Amino acid sequence: MKNDYFSFAASTQTSERVLALKDVIHITGLSKSTIYLYIQLEKFPPSIRIGFRRVGWVESEIRNWVREKIELGQATNYKRTNC
């Protein structure tokens, strides 16, 4: 029984990654200046300090932000038209 608990606990844990700015830019499609503006306006997940001159972003927070933007776009039923 004890082994079942540990295997269950190990399988439910997720590993978090810290993303560099270039990865956040790639995932979101935003520019560096827009990312920092959105952080200042509290519209984007803040970075975390991972070194003296290095910051990163928690991957799950960035992916959740993107998912929310996608869901918001779908909720508005925005219809694209060909120009």
Tell me what pLDDT residue 66 has: 97
Query: Is 71 inside any structural domain?
Result: yes
Query: Is 25 inside any structural domain?
Result: yes
Report phi then psi at 82, rounded to 5.
Answer: -80, 135
Q: What angle do CA 41, 31, 21 make, to 5 degrees?
A: 90
**How many C-beta atoms lie closer than 10 Å to residue 34's C-beta?**
14
Question: What CATH number corresponds to the domain at position 39?
Answer: 1.10.238
In terms of residue numbers, what domain contains 25?
15-75
Query: Is 81 inside any structural domain?
Result: no
How far is 65 from 73, CA to CA, in rounded Å?
Answer: 12
How far is 7 from 4, CA to CA, in rounded Å?
Answer: 5
Band (pLDDT 50/70/90 cuts) for residue 8 is: very low
Tell me what pLDDT residue 9 has: 43
Report phi then psi at 56, rounded to 5.
Answer: -150, 175
Q: What distances in angstroms separate CA 7 from CA 4, 16, 31, one per listed residue?
A: 5, 19, 42
Query: Is 6 inside any structural domain?
Result: no
Query: Is 19 inside any structural domain?
Result: yes
Query: Is 30 inside any structural domain?
Result: yes
Q: What is the total count of domains within the chain?
A: 1
Query: Is 83 inside any structural domain?
Result: no
> Once rounded to an integer, what is the mean pLDDT over residues 11-23?
82
- With 60 as the cut, is the pLDDT of residue 17 above it? yes
